[in-house]
Amino acid sequence: MPRVLLIDDDRELLELLRDYLQGDGFSVSAATDGHTGLKAVLGDAPDIVVLDVMMPGINGMQVLTQIRTLSPVPVLMLTAKGDDTDRIMGLELGADDYVPKPCTPRELAARLRAILKRSQNAPSQKQDTRVPITVGALTLWPAKRRAQRAGKDLALTSTEFSLLEVLARHAGETVSKQQLSEEGLGRPLSRFDRSIDVHVSGIRQKFGLLSDGSSPIQTVIRMGYQLVVE
């Protein structure tokens, strides 16, 4: 039973989400402020965290920043509808995905399952996750969710790892944003969704540059991204 931690100061919403998620097979704990939520991340060891951006005191962005120094647990942000700034900032700080409020419990449950599926690396009928993937100086161990470049570990979030794995399996080929979203995020790419671009930017920063100063992940205009074979 997946363990979900909800962090939101809206008690009515918390009760609604708790009741639905428990009925849908999740084990749910909740915190109504950021400080309590941070303690619960360490004490309850949840499988995934749902974190609201707008909270009094320590806000969701501050909580996310501290979570990322404490734990690699996947985090789904609840953002204001239409607020691209919060969404992009959350992704840049290490959130795995976001859902705009107001959201339906059913949509939230579907997003949680998609994130958990990729973070826990559910076995694929087409791919043997036990076999390392090597592309030049890059090596991925899908079953361990571990990545190295030139012998140095890459501190990737779960979502960043999933997207890099898709690119690595198609190294030298152009991978569309739609394919990256479906295979890496577990959902279709919606219109005006910049999640892929933000996550790829994060991977690039952690990846470093090639000897000629270019990025190993090239942008193919109006098509997608390509992992260059070093």
Q: Residue 111 and residue 87: Cα distance in Å, rounded?
A: 15
- The CATH number of 3-119 is 3.40.50.2300
Which pLDDT band, with edges at 50, 70 and 90, does 77 fall under? very high
- CATH number for 133-227: choose from 3.60.70.12, 1.10.10.10, 3.40.50.300, 3.40.50.720: 1.10.10.10
Query: Nearest CA to 17 among 29, 35, 34, 2?
Result: 29
- pLDDT tens figures, 183-213: 988 888 887 788 999 999 999 999 988 888 8
Please report, for the chain, how many H helices and E strands are present, in that order: 8, 12
Alpha-carbon distances of 123 from 96, 111, 147, 185, rounded to whole Å? 20, 19, 18, 16
- pLDDT per position as a tens digit, 83-138: 788 889 999 999 999 998 888 999 999 999 999 988 775 434 455 556 899 999 99
Residues near 122 by Cβ (< 8 Å), separated by ≥ 6?
A: none
**H-helix or E-strand spanning residue 87:** helix 84-92
Q: Is the pLDDT of residue 181 over 80?
A: yes
Summarised one tens digit per residue, pLDDT across range 53-69 is 999 889 999 999 999 99
- State the virtual CA torsion across 156, 159, 160, 165 in degrees, nearest 10: 110
Residue 200 and residue 177 in contact, taking contact as beta carbons nearer than 8 Å = no
Separation between Cα atoms, residue 169 and residue 151, nearest integer Å: 19
pTM of full prediction above 0.85: no
Q: How many CB atoms lie within 10 A of CB 169?
A: 17
**Average pLDDT across the chain, whole number:** 90
Question: Which residue ranges make up each domain of the chain?
Answer: 3-119, 133-227
Task: Provide the greatest CA pair distance for the chain.
Answer: 55
